[in-house]
Every structure is written in structure tokens, then in C-alpha cells.
Amino acid sequence: MKLTIGHIYPDILNLYGDKGNIVSLSRRLKLRNIDFEIVIIEDKIDFANIDILILGGGSDRDTLIANNKLQKQKDELKNFVESDGTLLALCSGYHILGKEFKINEKAIDGLGIFDITTKQIKNRLIGNIILECECINNTVVGFENHNTITDIKDYTPFGIVKYGYGNSEEKTYEGLIYKNTIATNLHGPLLPKNPRLTDYILNNALNKKYGDVSLSPLDDTFENNAHDYIIKRFLKNSVN
């Protein structure tokens, strides 16, 4: 078995250490003796030969550059998502997947992969965040730093906020999940402290490519300790 992971524009969309997500995915594949290839995408995406796409976050300027470049392949990206391709989109990478997002009060046409909208607010929503995520039947921890609120309409949220803000100042839900796509404001990077989520992403990609695949268990002591530290620090008397 082999998975190909495509990292979209890592030179401009790596504002919050999103390369760490690539490290987590590749490490867990390597420990299981599953072949993998990391493809750095600087221009056109070869969707036919990509199993997992990582779309990170960037500054306002770099987000606009990325959005403009991806407009040329938005139909192909839409097809990738609808055909169960695995996509992890983070921060502004999440926002540009929508119909519209705003930068400095200016409305920008997004890629239109999802019928969602994002607008900026005056306050920054910053800090550790804890979600309850049905997709893995477990908590997900991360860090958020954004001055945006996102209306996901009727889409399923990635998680329910137990601590932090999420998609809005109302502290109710965060991100969205659709087929094999996860779009979220969480970074830090996201995956190192969330091994179950990392395996969920890998499983989705392997199952699409090879059918029913079961991943062998790994020793996640260090990862779980880091995860549990956040839970215990911010959700007192909570046990993961």
C-alpha cells in the first residue's frame, strides 16, 4: 500500500506550523511500514495521483494569492471532495473553500466548494480549544487564532466546542466535516496531539484507495499525554 500526500503551497500557507501535520501523517505511516510520498504543490494539482491534500493557513495577502491560484482548478477540487478524496483544510485554507470570505471588509469570491461564508470581526478569538468530535468519538485539542466567524449553514460541524470559541463568538460548534473533508480553524499544528484524528484521516484515504483497511495500533503514550494535558488543564475533572 502507498499513499501520496499533497501539501498545497507550503511556502505561503504555513503560517501556523501546518508542516507538522505532514510530519504526523508520514510518521504514522512509516511506523506501520506503509509507503508514502510527499508532493509539494507549487502550481497545478495532479488530483488523479493525490490521496490526501493539506491546505494550510496564511496571511491575508498569501490567502488571496492561494485563492486566486486555486480558482483555476476549483471544479477539479470540488470533484475531488465529492468523490471522497481526503482533504484537511486549516484556518484561511478552510475559509477559501466557501462561497465568500471577507478581508478588510472586502468580499472575496471563494472556491465555492461549500455553500458557507466567512466574515471578519473586530475581536480576535485566540487560545486553546477543545472539541467533542463524533467522527472519532473522542475529543480533539488545538489552538485557534482568528478574527473570523464562519456560517456553515446546514453542514455538519467538525466538532462541538467544549472549551474555546470555534466558528463564532457563541462558542457552540467548530469547523465542518463533509465526506472525507475536514475544515477547521484549529492549528498548532493540529495532528500531533490528536493521534486518533490522524489515523481517521489515514483510514479514510486508505479505504478509498484499497477498500476496507484496518490500521495496526501504535504506542501513542506521548501523543495522548500531550492531548490529556490540555484536557485536564482547561476542562477540570474531565477525563479523556
Contacts 24+ apart (CB under 8 A), 213-216: 213/1, 215/32, 216/32
Nearest C-alpha neighbor of 31 from the set 206, 199, 209, 227: 199
DSSP assignment of 211-231: SS--PPP---HHHHHHHHHHH
Neighbouring-strand partners of residue 151: 117
What the block records as the C-alpha cell of 98 is 466557501
220: Cβ contacts below 8 Å, ≥ 6 apart: 195
Written as nine digits, the cell of 9 is 503551497
Cβ atoms of 147 and 185 closer than 8 Å: no
User: What is d(CA 224, CA 240) in angstroms, rounded to the nearest whole number?
Assistant: 9
| 187 flagged as catalytic | yes
Query: Could you please report the per-residue DSSP string of 39-107?
Result: EEESS---GGG-SEEEE----HHHHHHHHHHHGGGHHHHHHHHHTT-EEEEETHHHHTTSSEEEETTEE
| Active-site pick, 7, 95, 146, 187 | 187
Q: Are 90 and 184 contacting, i.e. CB atoms less than 8 angstroms apart?
A: yes
Spot the catalytic one: 91, 95, 146, 227. Answer: 91
Just list the catalytic residues.
91, 187
